[in-house]
Amino acid sequence: MVRLLQEQDIVIATELSAEAGWNQTADDWRMLLRLNPENCFGIEFDGRLVSTATLSCYGRKLAWIGMVLTNRAYQRRGFARTLLLHAIARADQLGVESLKLDATDQGQPLYESLGFRVEQPVQRWWRTPQAGGAALQPANFLDHDMEAYKADRSELLRALMQRSNVQTSPDGFCLSRPGRRANYVGPCVARNADFARHSIQACAQEESYWDLLPQNPAALALATELGFTEKRKLIRMVRGRDLRGREGWIYAIAGFELG
């Protein structure tokens, strides 16, 4: 029943994420499929794609499950569970040590039943359009991300940079990209709040979403200072080995579907 998602599925997949009210665009789906051609799964029923799940691998240390969606008319038939079992088996086959995801309230019981444990909350904040700061100077951003996540997300970051507004400096980096509902700010990895403040201001001139880890008090304080308000709560969950990086540097995640 489970099959790989392909380029021609992007239209329906984007309809699924839009139906759930999510912010991802067709370009977000396209990037997931391009980066993980063997790890994005779907179930077809009645001749149409009705359920999806994606697995983004960051080396063997970490992989991220995202885009777990079932068409409303086909829910509670075990489709998401089947796809999750498939994605977990694939991660095991690849030798992934730590498998994570950001769970909605709807998804959390399903993940718990599959052995995921709560790690920490993750929150979406939102702000209306505002004038921003100046562009910053380029610098090597990969080391900062590696330190913050303790996994190699360089392939993802390079792909995101091609389609993002990019702010970098020796103190960190911040990206933003178009979303279906609002500009998406993230990832932002910063050694200090000053860089995060300047780069997020520069990235959030339109109406924006910003997903952060509220256990990083500096990120929480900055979101409030910059006039964002909390909009959604999810729960970050992990299966396999616990893996925590320097989360004090993580001001914005890359996306609920990406980590």
Ligand X SMILES: CC(C)(COP(=O)(O)OP(=O)(O)OC[C@H]1O[C@@H](n2cnc3c(N)ncnc32)[C@H](O)[C@@H]1OP(=O)(O)O)[C@@H](O)C(=O)NCCC(=O)NCCS
- Which stretches of the chain bind ligand X, using CB under 6 A? 20, 51, 68-70, 75-81, 103-104, 106-107, 109-110
Nearest to 171, CA basis, from 136, 146, 203, 201: 136
* Spatial separation of the C-alpha atoms in residues 185 and 157, rounded to whole Å: 14
Closest-CA residue to 161 (of 141, 179, 175): 175
If the CB atoms of residues 51 and 54 are measured against ligand X, the closer one turns out to be 51
* Backbone phi and psi for residue 242, each to the nearest 5 degrees, phi listed first: -65, 135
Q: Whose Cβ is closer to ligand X: residue 67's or residue 166's?
A: 67
What separation in angstroms does the CA of 183 have from each of 125, 126, 187? 12, 10, 13
Cβ 183 to ligand X shortest distance, Å: 22
Cα radius of gyration (the chain): 17
As measured in angstroms, the least distance from the Cβ of 20 to ligand X is 4
Name which of 55 and 189 has its Cβ closer to ligand X.
55
CB neighbours (10 Å) of residue 244?
11
Give the nearer residue to ligand X in terms of CB position, either 87 or 146: 87
Would you say 75 or 205 has its CB closer to ligand X?
75
CB of 12 to ligand X, least distance (A): 14
d(CA 73, CA 209): 29
Could you tell me the smallest distance in angstroms from the CB atom of residue 108 to ligand X? 7
Give the residue with the Cβ less far from ligand X, 107 or 172: 107
How far apart CA 199 and CA 254 sit, in angstroms, is 15
Which helix (H) or strand (E) segment is 117 a member of? strand 117-127
Please provide residue 53's backbone torsions phi and psi, each rounded to the nearest 5 degrees. -160, 140
Question: What is the closest distance, in whole angstroms, from the C-beta atom of residue 76 to ligand X in the complex?
Answer: 4
C-alpha 56/C-alpha 85 separation (Å) is 15
Nearer to ligand X, 33 or 80 (CB): 80
State in angstroms the smallest separation of the CB of 69 from ligand X.
Answer: 4
Using alpha carbons, list the distances in angstroms from residue 161 to 76, 166, 244. 38, 7, 24
In the complex, least distance from residue 37 CB atom to ligand X, rounded to whole angstroms: 22
